[in-house]
Amino acid sequence: MQALSIYNTLSRKKEEFKALNPPFVGLYVCGPTVYSDVHLGNCRTFISFDLIYRYLLHLGYKVRYVRNITDAGHLEGDRDEGDDKFAKKAKLEQVEPMEIVQKYTVGFHEVLGAFNTLPPSIEPTATGHICEQIEMIKQIMVNGLAYEVNGTVYFDVEKYSSEFNYGQLTNRKLEELLEGSRELNGQDEKKGKLDFALWIAAKPETLMRWPSPWGWGFPGWHIECSAMSRKYLGDTFDIHGGGMDLQATHHTNEIAQSQACYHKTPVNYWMHTNMLTVNGVRMSKSAGNGFLPSELFTGNHPLLDKGYAPMAVRFFMLQTHYRSTLDFSNEALQASEKGFERLMDSYTTLQNLKASNASSENITELQTKCYEAMNDDFNTSILIAHLFEAVRIINSANDLKTNLTQADIDLLKKIYNDFVFSILGLKTEESNQKTDAALAKVIGHMLDMRTRAKTEKNFKLSDEIRDKLIEAGIQIKDTREGSTWKI
C-alpha cells in the first residue's frame, strides 16, 4: 500500500508526507475571525481539516493541531487604518469589542460541535499573543525588512524579494504582482504598494490598543499566525492549512514574515481547501449569498427547501474532495441525505448479520482500498464509494444472497468504526434513550398486532396499522424473520 501523499500548494503537486519529527506532526489551520456568525463556507474548511486531523491521528501520529481565533487586528479594507472588524461591530452594537469576540467564539464552537469536529489541541487568540507579535516585528525591523512611519510598521516587500521568493505560494513573480496591484495615492504612508502593515498605530477613537515600541496600536492581521504557529509548533513545522482565499495574501505574507524574522522555511506542506459555492458563485459574507448553519439545520432561509441534519451536511461535504469547489443546492443535499441514511442503516443491519461458514466477498481487499483512497491526498469521494460497496455487501448478506464469515463481519464492523465514525467523523443522530425505549416497546406491540392480523388474513386491519405508523413517520420493513421498523 502506498504511503500518505498530500497535495502541497508550494510545489503544486502531490508529495509523499514525511513528518519532520515522527511520530509528531504539527498542524496549523487559520481559524475564524470572530466578528460575526460563521457561515457554511467557513465550516467546510474546518470540516476538511477535521478529517485531515482525524486521519493523521488514525495513522498513529501524535498531532498537535493549532487553530487560532482572530480576535484583533483584522481590518475591513486594505487601507491599514481605522478600526478593525471587532471594534466596528462593537460600536454598532454598543458593547465591548471583547463581548463581540466572546459571543461569536461561543457560537463558532457550538456550530463546529454540531458538525462533530474534534477540538484542536491549542486554540490561541491574537489578543493573547501581543507580546510575541511585537517581538517578531522587532526582529524583522532589526533584519532590515520593515520600517516605521508615524507609529505604523510596514513590511518591505520589495526589499524582501531581493533575498527571498515572495510569490512562491502562488507561483507569481514580483513584477506581476506589482503590475496587478493598486497604485499608491498621496495619503499612503507605505513605500511600496505591496507593503503591508505589521503594526498599526491607534487613532484616538481606536478601542482595542496595546502599548508597543512604536506607541499605542494593534497588530496587523497576518503577524498573529506567524507568531503563534512559531510559538507552539516551532520555526519549521509540518502542515499549514486554510481556505484557498487566504493563499494569495494571508499565507504569502505569513511566509514572508517568518522568513524575514528567522530565515527559515516555516512550513513543509501548505494545504488549501476549496470554496463552497451557491449557484456557482462563492459563498461569502460580502456577497450576501451565505446562510448560517442554524438556518441550514432548521431550513429557515429562502434558499432552503427544508432543514438538514448536521451529519447529513457533513456527509454532503465529504462526498466532494477538499480541493474541489462544492456547489450547494437543495437537490444535491437531499441526494446526500438519502445516501447517508442508507450508509447508516446498513450499519444497523450489520449488527444483526448471521455468519456463514464460507465467504463470497473479499473484505480485506475492500479495507485496503479504503486506505488507498485516504492515502491519496485524503480522497473521501473514493473512500465513500468503497463504503457503499460495503453497504451493498452487507445488504446482500442480509438478503442471504451472499455469504460472510464471522471474520468478514468483524472486519466490516472495524471498517465502519475506523472509516465512517473515526475518520469521516460521522455519527448517528443523538437520541433520548428513555423515550426511545418506550417508543420501541409501543411499536413492537403494534407490529405484533399487525402480524397477528396478517396471519388471520385480516389485511384491512394490518394495512391500517401500517398506514397509521407511516403517518407517524415510522417505516416498516417486512423480512423473513418478521417486521422491523425505523423512524
Q: For RNA, give the closer residue by CB, 349 or 422.
A: 349
Is 279 in contact with 307 (CB distance < 8 Å)?
no
Q: Is 357 buried (19+), middle (13-18) or exposed (0-12) by CB count in 10 A? A: exposed
Q: Is 461 buried (19+), middle (13-18) or exposed (0-12) by CB count in 10 A? A: middle
Q: For RNA, give the closer residue by CB, 77 or 204.
A: 77
Q: For RNA, give the closer residue by CB, 19 or 419.
A: 419
Q: For residue 345, give the nearest of 431, 428, 422 by alpha carbon.
A: 428
**Min. distance of Cβ 32 from RNA in angstroms?**
5
Torsion of CA 46, 52, 58, 61, to 10 degrees: -110
* Cα diameter, the chain: 93
Q: For RNA, give the closer residue by CB, 19 or 276.
A: 276
**Min. distance of Cβ 34 from RNA in angstroms?**
8
**DSSP type of residue 15:** E
Q: For RNA, give the closer residue by CB, 11 or 475.
A: 475
Rounded CA gap, 128 and 120, in Å?
17
Residue type, 93: E
**Min. distance of Cβ 436 from RNA in angstroms?**
20
Chain CA centroid to CA 193, Å: 33
Radius of gyration of the chain (CA): 27
Q: Is 334 buried (19+), middle (13-18) or exposed (0-12) by CB count in 10 A? A: middle
**DSSP type of residue 455:** H
> C-alpha cell of 306?
427544508
Q: For RNA, give the closer residue by CB, 429 or 478.
A: 478
> C-alpha cell of 12?
503544486
**Min. distance of Cβ 466 from RNA in angstroms?**
6
Q: For RNA, give the closer residue by CB, 129 or 466.
A: 466
**Min. distance of Cβ 332 from RNA in angstroms?**
4
**Min. distance of Cβ 263 from RNA in angstroms?**
26
**Min. distance of Cβ 242 from RNA in angstroms?**
4
